Amino acid sequence: MDALNEDTIEGKQAKKNGNPEVYPSMPQESGNAANMSPEMKAFYANMAKMKLYDIIDVFQTSTIDNATWTHWQTFLKDMFVVDAFLIIVSKVTPVPKRYNLLSYLLSILCSTIQKHGVIKISIIVYGLITETLNSNSIYFNCPGCRLKLLYADGSYMRYFSHFNGTLDFQFKITWVNIAISNFKLGLEWGALENLLHKKNNSNELLKKLENPEVAQLDGQDSKNSMLVNRDALLFLKSRFDAFQNISSLGIDNNIVRSIQLNEVMSNLKYLKMFQRENNIVSPVEAMQKFVQKYRQKENTEHNNNNER
């Protein structure tokens, strides 16, 4: 897990310092992967898995230390190929929401997450597998991933997701798809202790607990449905960052706006490609036809989901 790619900044520095755990990138003259032996395919698949664990480690440490915008730019340049793209799908709503982003714009998203109070990112992966394909790429798939965004006040957002994608033989990601299936908000125990240590907060919370406005959870009428103290719950939520500005997608609205901005900027690139491929002179005409094609695609996907 601690091995480094010699093509990255960290790998070059480690190699210069004589670190023996620098793994080599695949030479270009190695030929087609279809001609590789099973042992060689397994070797590069294992190296790719180590690279993915290295990437996860950087994400988990960068928010604490030197995570400036320039830092994210440098890191993402080592992580992705130039024309790589990221797909984020949120399945927490009845109609899944999909965002298509270009990799070189992700530094804006990473900076936004840190700017709005996130001090630590924790990533736990389950069952990560990698496989060398005959198409000269390395496929990876993780059926279970837990992503936790911890705020400075001790509140957090935890996402349950899975992801897959491919790397090239230089161990750089060419595309990655992240699907969020569920999310939960919570508090660290220390955060609750710090809140109650403040006399005004503890007095107000006790007052609300003594005179509760009790409601049934999720509007259930059953005798066994859980009862909650609405006033006390709203009071606690108002004191912690993770519960503020939360969207229906389970993502902070500030982060959603950053994702939407990145998607617009990404689509501008595709708009120019669409204009050039269809020999359209007018930018306005190109925009109209591009939007029309995009809406048709969205309607088709929506109809397919309804049929399922």
Q: What is the pLDDT of residues 27-80, one digit of tens each?
A: 443 557 778 888 999 999 999 999 999 999 988 887 665 567 777 888 888 899
Q: Flag whether 263 is in a domain.
A: no
Which runs of E-coded beta strand occur in the chain?
Answer: 4-5, 22-23, 80-90, 97-102, 118-126, 129-133, 137-151, 155-167, 173-187, 214-216, 227-229
Higher model confidence: residue 6 or residue 131? 131
**Report for 132-141, 231-240, 291-300: range of highest mean pLDDT:** 132-141
Higher model confidence: residue 146 or residue 211? 146
153/18 same-domain check? yes
109/160 same-domain check? yes
284/141 same-domain check? no
Higher model confidence: residue 145 or residue 7? 145
Q: How confident is the model at residue 201 (pLDDT cuts 50, 70, 90)?
A: low
60/110 same-domain check? yes
Place of tokens 């109650």: 196
Average pLDDT over residues 200-212: 65
- The predicted pLDDT at position 151 comes to 87
Average pLDDT over residues 108-115: 80
State which residues form the domain around 294: 278-307
Q: Flag whether 91 is in a domain.
A: yes
121/217 same-domain check? no
- The predicted pLDDT at position 85 comes to 86
124/48 same-domain check? yes
CA distance 293 to 289: 6
Global confidence as pTM: 0.69
- The predicted pLDDT at position 225 comes to 44
- The predicted pLDDT at position 173 comes to 94
Number of domains the chain contains: 3
**What percent of the chain is predicted at pLDDT more than 70?**
74
Strand partners, 19: none
Q: Flag whether 249 is in a domain.
A: no
Higher model confidence: residue 303 or residue 264? 264
**What percent of the chain is predicted at pLDDT more than 90?**
22
76/204 same-domain check? no
28/161 same-domain check? yes
293/215 same-domain check? no
Each residue of 256-284: pLDDT tens digit? 888 888 787 777 777 777 788 888 877 77
Each residue of 121-135: pLDDT tens digit? 899 999 999 999 988
CB-based burial, 258-289: b 16+ in 10 Å, e otherwise: bbeebbeebbeeebeebbeeeebeeeeebeeb
CA distance 102 to 100: 7
Q: Flag whether 273 is in a domain.
A: no
